[in-house]
């Protein structure tokens, strides 16, 4: 049985744990800046780096690896692209493999936008770049910590 002196301490600890759990379950606003370049000829391959920043001040450097296949041909490069995540509760939720599908037709300067998912987490990418690309591809987009 708890002594009368310990009851206020136990109640305060219970309140603190409940408040912490509620704060951690809040959806974080996280964004990513990135640069990526790659090529495709039936097989699509692109590599890059990025930085994820969340509203709580946390940052995470990531390697980007995109792989896929389809009816594609070309090469492209995006510098200073941006991404926005949804349904993130911890910065590490952004890591992993996202499913992608895309259609491209570009020559010279190009603007690219793409939305992909990984379970409940979604990532919307946009960026301006250069390249020549034509085709339809399906594959994966990975964010790896480094």
pLDDT score at 133 = 65
**Three-class secondary structure of residue 22 per DSSP:** helix
> Distance between CA atoms of 99 and 36, rounded to whole angstroms?
17
pLDDT at 14: 43
CA distances from 64 to 50, 61, 97, 121 (A): 7, 10, 10, 16
* pLDDT tens-digit profile, the chain (146 residues): 444 443 443 334 444 333 344 445 668 999 999 999 988 877 788 899 999 999 999 999 999 998 887 766 778 888 889 999 999 999 999 999 999 876 665 666 666 678 899 999 999 988 887 776 665 566 889 999 99
Domain 27-145 class? Answer: mainly beta
Q: What is the pLDDT of residue 12?
A: 41
């Amino acid at each position: 049985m708890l002594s009368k002196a310990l009851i206020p301490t136990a109640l305060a600890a219970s309140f603190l744990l409940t408040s912490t759990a509620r704060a951690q379950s809040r959806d974080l606003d996280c964004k990513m800046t990135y640069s990526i370049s790659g090529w495709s000829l039936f097989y699509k391959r692109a590599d890059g780096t990025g930085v994820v920043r969340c509203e709580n001040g946390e940052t995470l450097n990531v390697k980007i690896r995109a792989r896929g296949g389809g009816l594609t041909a070309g090469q492209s490069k995006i510098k200073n692209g941006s991404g926005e995540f949804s349904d993130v509760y911890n910065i590490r939720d952004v890591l992993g493999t996202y499913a992608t599908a895309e259609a491209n037709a570009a020559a010279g300067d190009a603007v690219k936008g793409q939305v992909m998912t990984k379970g409940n987490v979604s990532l919307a990418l946009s960026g301006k770049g250069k390249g020549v690309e034509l085709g339809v591809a399906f594959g994966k987009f990975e964010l790896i910590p480094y």
